[in-house]
Every structure is written in structure tokens, then in C-alpha cells.
Amino acid sequence: MEEKGAENGVAAMAACYQGFDPAEYLQSNYTPPRADFERKDILLLLSLSLTFPGDGPTLYQVMSGSEELLQDEGGCSLDWTPFLQHVCKLEGRRPSAWTEKAARLRQVIVDIVPIDVNRPQPLAHDALPSAGADCLVSCFCLESAFTRALGHIGRLLRPGGHLLLIGTLGMSYYMAGAGVKIPTVPVNEAQVCASLKESGYTLIRLEVYTLRQDMNVGTDDAYGVFFVKAMKE
């Protein structure tokens, strides 16, 4: 019965995501006031830049680390230039370096593969080296199946590998299109730490950012964002 319930839950979530609108999602979450680089309290890119000198329709999480993803297919409604410029600023590069970073992102992409964190084996067996990945990065993608997903993606990491995780606190839903309300798991800091321990990770670093009132734009009910660096035991 429990397995059947899990299958029904996954099917229900899959139905929700049929209406997901990447353009509207980006417009709601990656433009001011939530993406205002003049503000000193925007910490997400800073955390990733300092820690790591896939996820959704966004690029910011790979700009500082792998430089693996930047598409120029036309049809993308968001200009990533300010993000590239801000990352270069955080890294101490000259102002013009963002064009070099963009070019490198386009050149060194290895592959894009689907992943299903609801499955015990989220990727095909030959998608990674047999020893497992050195590092996994997840940004705002595990909220729909938090503890179960942490356990599943942990199987992709080698022992001693690192997990970099960004997620929301207290969020029970977010809007991903006109009338598309996607339910999520509303976790707090204690639950995040407990889930990491239960899933076989050692917590190295936890940062919490409380959203200011003007960043509550009505597209979700989160009260904060967390950043985690953890190691697989």
C-alpha cells in the first residue's frame, strides 16, 4: 500500500508539472526584487562562488563552478548577462570577463541528461563513473520529495563526495505558470539537518537567508532560503 501511495504521489506531481512555464518561472524568481545585484543581501550566488569556485531552467548554479551550460537558442525570455557579470565581480575578474565566461559555458558542455529523484536509481547506470560523482549540486529542485530524494541522489555520489544544496524554507507551494500551483515539502532548518543525517551525509556548512518582506512577491509562501555543503559518509 505504501509503494502504491508513493506511485500515486509521483503521478500527481507529474500532472502538476505539465503546466510548468519556464519563462514565467524565470520572470517571477530571477528578476528584481529577487534578483537585484545592487542589494547587499543577495547571498545565493556569493555562496556558490565561494564554495564551488541541475536544475530547472536556470544557469546561475553552474556559472562559477563547472561552466557547463549556456544555451543561445533564441526563445529564452531571460537575459543571463547580469548574472554572468555579477559572478565575475564576485570572483574578482575584470568587468569584461563575463563574455569569456559565457563563451566557455557554451564550449565545455558535456551532456544534458534527465534525472528522476523519485527513483532509487535516478540516472542510468552508465551515466556516471562507476565510483560515483565527486560532487552534486541541487538548487530549488528537491522540495517536492525532500528526504526520499536526498537518499536517492546520494547513490550517485562516491563516498567522500560533496553535496551542494540550495532550497527554500517553509514553502508549501510555488506558482509555475498561470494558475499552476505546485505543492512542495515545507521544511525548516532542523528538518534539513535531520534529513541529511538520515540520508548518510555529514553536514559541513549551513547558511540560512530570511527573505525580506519586499521579496515576497506572491509566487510562493517561503520564508527563507538555505545553503548546505555536506559530504557523503
Sign of the dihedral defined by the CA atoms of residues 220, 55, 228, 61, in that order: negative
- Domains defined for the chain, CATH in brackets: 2-71+78-123+130-232 (3.40.50.150)
The predicted-structure confidence for 114-145, as pLDDT tens digits, reads as follows 888 878 888 887 888 888 888 887 777 776 56
Cα separations in angstroms, 12 against 4, 68, 174, 183: 12, 32, 15, 10
Residue 152 has pLDDT above 80, yes or no: yes
Q: What is the pLDDT of residue 69?
A: 44
pLDDT of residue 203: 95
- pLDDT band of 172, cuts 50, 70, 90: very high
Tell me the pLDDT tens digit for each residue of 65-89.
Answer: 434 444 444 455 567 777 778 778 7
**CA geometry: angle 107, 48, 41, nearest 5 deg:** 130
Q: Three-class SS of residue 62?
A: helix
Question: How many of the other CB atoms lie within 10 Å of CB of 96?
Answer: 9
- pLDDT band at residue 1 under the 50/70/90 scheme: very low
Q: What share of the chain has pLDDT > 70, as a percent?
A: 72
How sure is the predictor about 53, in pLDDT bands with cuts at 50, 70 and 90?
very low
Alpha-carbon distance of 205 to 147, in angstroms, equals 18
* pLDDT for the residue 159: 93
Tell me the C-alpha distance between 160 and 4, whole Å: 34
Comparing 223 with 17, which gets the higher pLDDT?
223
